[in-house]
Amino acid sequence: MSLPGLSAGTGRPYGTALVLLAAMSVVPGIGTVTGPLVGLASLFLGVQLALGRPEPWLPAWLSRRVASAERGSRFSTWIQERCRPIMHLAPPRFPDRLAGLTVAWSSLLLILPLAFVPLGNTIPSLSVGLVGAGLLAGRGPLGWLGLLLSGGYSLVLVLLGETLFLAAQALIRRLT
């Protein structure tokens, strides 16, 4: 099943679905509730994209609820118009498999219960949305930006985890 009106093999069906999913959890506060569900759905799409599927497979019950071809085309045009000023800044193509891996990793971060981290669900959602917008527009700058955002956020989480670990070790040493 393909998303209506969007040609397979161009990344556009994935882009549309990823941007719509990311929009549901990018707002701080709302993302804590919707993050795990959106994360699972975008992980499902990211793995398919990384495996090289030309179009996403959706369950039959979900495929009946997909928007019309006209609405998908209008949304695609709207995204492309907003992205036009930065299209010349990076290579013209973001590899689909790398996009899939970026989406899958960001989705895993989105699923994690990171309520104590400021913008814990917003940044992975934004990364998924940027990669999706890059696929939708057929240009790489947004995909590369999503990859950098996901990598930077991962680095922040590692540093935060290391800091918490060292602080806990120091506290235990002090108490004993």
Q: Which residue has the higher pLDDT, 32 or 131?
A: 131
pLDDT for residue 54: 80
Range scoring the smallest mean pLDDT among 9-18, 30-39, 108-117, 142-151 = 9-18
Sequence spans of domains, the chain: 12-175
Range scoring the smallest mean pLDDT among 22-26, 40-44, 101-105, 114-118 = 114-118
In tens, the pLDDT along 74-117 reads 766 776 777 677 666 555 567 778 888 889 999 988 888 776 67
Averaged pLDDT score across all residues of the chain: 78
Average pLDDT over every residue of 159-168: 92
- Local confidence band at 163 (pLDDT 50, 70, 90 cut-offs): very high
pLDDT for residue 75: 66
Q: According to DSSP H, which parts of the chain are helical?
A: 12-23, 31-50, 60-63, 69-83, 96-111, 122-137, 141-175
Q: What are phi and psi of 28, to 5 degrees?
A: -55, 140
CA distance 92 to 10: 13
Tokens for 171, please give them: 């506290």
Average pLDDT over every residue of 28-42: 78
